[in-house]
Chain A
Amino acid sequence: MNKTISLIKTELNITFGLTALKHSFKQKKNRWTVVLISIALLSLIPSYFMLVKGLGGLYDGFRQIGQQSYFLMLGFLVSQMAVLVFGLLYVMSKFYFSNDIVHLVPLPIKPSQIVGSKFASLMVSEYITSLPLILPFVIIYGTKGYMGFSYWLYSFIAVLTLPLVPLVIASILIMAFMKYTNIRGKKDLIRTISAIMFIIFVVYFQLMINRITARGIADGENFLFNLARDANLLVNTFGRMWPPGMWGTFALVNHTSISGLINLVLFIGVGVLGLMLMIYLSERIFFDGLIGNTDQSSSKGKEHNKDSSKSINVNKPYIALAKKELIMLFKTPIYLMNSIGGVIIVPIIMAMSLFTGGEDMAPLRAIISQSKNYVVLGGIGFIAVMGILNSIGVTTFSREGNNFWIQRIIPITPRDQIIGRVLASLAVQLLAAVFIVGSIFFIASISVFDVLLIVLIGIFASIPMTMMGMTIDILRPMRNWTNPQQAMKQNLNVLIGLAVGALYVGGIGYLVYKVISRLSIGIIYGGLIGVLLLTSIVLYMILDKLIFTQFQELE
């Protein structure tokens, strides 16, 4: 038992502890994730408040049809389902993909102790999901219905135990899944799929809110009543299929009578029993599903369909380098998520928050509708910013890491180094351009010519942006990392690049803003191209020298 407690303590400390917090702060860790998640969360906050406001109305709607209890059940259903969905992802990464598993497994501890401690820390994580969902329901029901002390006591207990059952189910499902399916060796694939699922969830949530708001405007006064009526039906159907939600609901609704107590005991008891079953099962099946440290499958001795003349292709050195860069970017999940995922997600989220952001975004929308030139210039600026935000140029030498020696012994000119690495970044920028133009279509109507302007000048602007990053990176490449995450997420160069890039784009943007009313737009585009070209040439000359000397000087 002592072992379990010590494990739980460590686990909690690792996940939420001060040490970890301090560490990740110092390490500038997860910068990209923080940026992305905060953008995502910020875009959700207005929607969330609207939602909570709407919930109050929904309660009234339910009361009109005399079914307040279903309001609570809706809350339980939604929260527990969310816990289940996130639970599947959390369990997968905590139980099977976390770095400490390799260290824990050889220790003289039982699988159930590992699983138990990880489960405990997951419970805490799940509160972050469940509390924002269930609390509004419970509080609205309690305050609007003038509930007494026992209601609040029961709610407190029920809210705390709410994640238990779905998380137990998620754990059992994942453990069985890992044991009986052969996905070992596809760790990268699973990570990518989970990330995509998360994005889809966020996007879906946004769209759902949009639809409800749109209906709200259409239905006018009757909206909440209609909604309550529809929801009532839904809750009725699903509630039967998900008894824990029902028990939780009736525990709170009947808190004054013995039936409430029975339901509360059921609600907690089933959770605890489930937990015990899960721990028992873990003893049997947890280790079977563990993926070894090396996560790549190899096809030893298998005959390949290897027509070597097909797989042997001759390229110019810079093309070969660009190809190598792109393969590494696509095949390393961290890079894939940050660089390529980044240029896809950021535009989508930006467009969506502009599109759905309510009154706060009104001034911006006004500017957009006011002049098409602002849209085109904004699009170009956005692509340019992505040119540094994609982190490809600014980590290009850092990413070489232990393999840096290869670059230094091959007879490749600095010129080819520059062209190859810039090309790799531009390939990703093309993707960024597609998604940025796509997002612009959502908020403003633009012509084919405008699209061409945005894409061409935007891609052109990405050249100096990438070279700016490369200049920073070659001056202080971070080469002795052990985990690719460090090369991109814990690399100070990324921050420096962001600052320099923002200054550059901001500076040019300010200049354009100053002269836009006085000069014709053609001259402005011409000047812009001139400035970008000049910057590129200067940076090229600097890089040419720097790469030569740094490749010699580094130890």
Chain B
Amino acid sequence: MLKLEGISKSYGKSKVKAVNDVNLEVKSGEIFGFLGPNGAGKTTTIKMIVGLLKPDEGKVFVDGVNVWEEPLKSKEKISYVPDNPEIYDRLKGIEYLNFIADMYGIEKDKRKEKIEYYSKLFNIENALWDIISSYSHGMKQKLVLTSALLNDPQLFILDEPMVGLDPKSSFNLKEIMRHMCDQGKTVFFSTHVMEVAEKLCDRIAIINNGRIIALGTMEELRSSAKEKESLENIFLELTEDE
């Protein structure tokens, strides 16, 4: 479903590669966790997948479509939830959802059903008629989540989705992710919460200094590490500097 072929990126004129020759393949029906310390290159990688940051080298394929050659085709399959939900704050929530739905050409009935379902699930249905600038950080995030789910994405990409969500909403989000995978969709997300990754993900990649340093299922990661108990220990061991 998602395939990264040797992508690299350095910002501006800097010689340091924020992401360095990353190769990954995520299959349909998988929940894939992307871990790494601050500044490791998670957000950079994700931006290269969703079309926000052009790789210096390498290719990105979504369902066989080259993201950077046929952007429209790939964007129709993807939904992206950024780490920082900056959205049109002069619109009302409902206006924003309508706007996004128009962009994906979603029919009226389906649109209505999805908006009602997800806004209720995330408990923002009463705020939809308010202007977005009156939303709290978490409410904005939930609105972005709702908008990202409207088009039934084949590939759902989230950058630190649990940050700022209340317990119930993050529980619901995890349920949604599981449900999507059951339907054969793919979820790719970055996180700093080890338990979430451990419990939720089919496979995990750990990135450090722009390079993938570990990749596989929990079992595979365990077998390759000295510290075996928890993902947290494995993570700390692997990302320790020398």
- Interface membership of A294, Cβ < 8 A: yes
Candidates A302, A323, A402; contact of B126 at CB < 8 Å: A302
Q: Which of B57-81 contact A (CB under 8 A)?
A: 68, 71-73, 75-76, 78, 80
Whether the Cβ atoms of B134 and A294 lie closer than 8 Å is yes
State how many angstroms separate the Cβ of B79 from the closest Cβ of chain A: 8
Q: Write the B65-103 contact mask toward A (1 if CB under 8 angstroms, else 0).
A: 000100111011010101000111011001100111111
Q: Write the A299-335 contact mask toward B (1 if CB under 8 angstroms, else 0).
A: 1111110101101111111011101100110011000
State how many angstroms separate the Cβ of B198 from the closest Cβ of chain A: 29
Q: Which residues of B contact A405 (CB under 8 A)?
A: 52, 82, 86
- Interface membership of B219, Cβ < 8 A: no
Q: Which residues of B contact A331 (CB under 8 A)?
A: 90-91, 131
Candidates B103, B126, B131; contact of A412 at CB < 8 Å: B103
A405–B107 alpha-carbon span in the complex (Å): 24
Q: Write the A392-413 contact mask toward B (1 if CB under 8 angstroms, else 0).
A: 0000000000110110111111
Q: Which residues of A contact B16 (CB under 8 A)?
A: none
- Interface membership of B50, Cβ < 8 A: yes
- Interface membership of B105, Cβ < 8 A: yes
- Which of B27-35, B110-118, B163-171, B207-215 is found at the contact surface with chain A? B110-118
- Interface membership of B234, Cβ < 8 A: no
A315–B51 alpha-carbon span in the complex (Å): 25
- Interface membership of A297, Cβ < 8 A: yes
Q: Which residues of A contact B103 (CB under 8 A)?
A: 317, 320, 410-412
Q: Which residues of B contact A413 (CB under 8 A)?
A: 72
A411–B150 alpha-carbon span in the complex (Å): 14
Whether the Cβ atoms of B87 and A320 lie closer than 8 Å is no
A376–B90 alpha-carbon span in the complex (Å): 38
A-B contact count (CB 8 A): 115
A298–B139 alpha-carbon span in the complex (Å): 13
State how many angstroms separate the Cβ of B177 from the closest Cβ of chain A: 19
Q: Which residues of A contact B72 (CB under 8 A)?
A: 411-413
Whether the Cβ atoms of B71 and A552 lie closer than 8 Å is yes
Q: Which residues of B contact A311 (CB under 8 A)?
A: 94, 98, 129
Whether the Cβ atoms of B68 and A403 lie closer than 8 Å is no
User: Knowing A302-B126, A304-B129, A314-B108 touch, does A553 contact B54 (C-beta < 8 A)?
Assistant: yes
- Interface membership of A6, Cβ < 8 A: no
Whether the Cβ atoms of B126 and A304 lie closer than 8 Å is yes
State how many angstroms separate the Cβ of A89 from the closest Cβ of chain B: 24
Q: Which residues of A contact B131 (CB under 8 A)?
A: 296, 298, 331
- Give the size category of B's interface with A: 35 or more
Candidates A299, A328, A410; contact of B91 at CB < 8 Å: A328
Q: Which residues of A contact B50 (CB under 8 A)?
A: 409
Q: Which residues of A contact B76 (CB under 8 A)?
A: 411
- Interface membership of B22, Cβ < 8 A: no
- Interface membership of A221, Cβ < 8 A: no
A553–B68 alpha-carbon span in the complex (Å): 10
**A302, closest chain B residue (CB):** B126
Whether the Cβ atoms of B90 and A327 lie closer than 8 Å is yes
A408–B10 alpha-carbon span in the complex (Å): 20
Q: Which residues of A contact B52 (CB under 8 A)?
A: 405, 408-409
Q: Which residues of B contact A402 (CB under 8 A)?
A: 86
- Interface membership of B121, Cβ < 8 A: no
Q: Which residues of A contact B86 (CB under 8 A)?
A: 402-403, 405
Whether the Cβ atoms of A408 and B51 lie closer than 8 Å is yes
Whether the Cβ atoms of B116 and A403 lie closer than 8 Å is no
State how many angstroms separate the Cβ of A241 from the closest Cβ of chain B: 44
User: Knowing A405-B86, A411-B103 touch, does A552 contact B68 (C-beta < 8 A)?
Assistant: yes
State how many angstroms separate the Cβ of B152 from the closest Cβ of chain A: 13
Q: Which residues of A contact B90 (CB under 8 A)?
A: 327-328, 331-332
Q: Which residues of B contact A553 (CB under 8 A)?
A: 54
A314–B54 alpha-carbon span in the complex (Å): 32
Q: Which residues of B contact A230 (CB under 8 A)?
A: none
- 19 inter-chain pairs at a CB distance below 8 angstroms, sorted by A residue, are A296-B134, A297-B134, A298-B130, A300-B126, A302-B126, A304-B126, A306-B128, A308-B112, A314-B102, A314-B107, A314-B111, A315-B102, A317-B105, A324-B95, A403-B88, A408-B52, A410-B75, A411-B71, A552-B54
Residues of B at the A interface (CB closer than 8 Å) are 11, 50-54, 68, 71-73, 75-76, 78, 80, 82, 86-88, 90-91, 94-95, 98-108, 111-112, 115-116, 126-131, 133-135
A298-B127, A402-B86, A555-B11 given; name 16 further pairs at CB < 8 Å: A294-B133, A296-B133, A296-B134, A297-B134, A300-B126, A304-B129, A306-B128, A311-B129, A312-B112, A324-B88, A331-B131, A406-B88, A406-B100, A409-B80, A411-B73, A552-B68
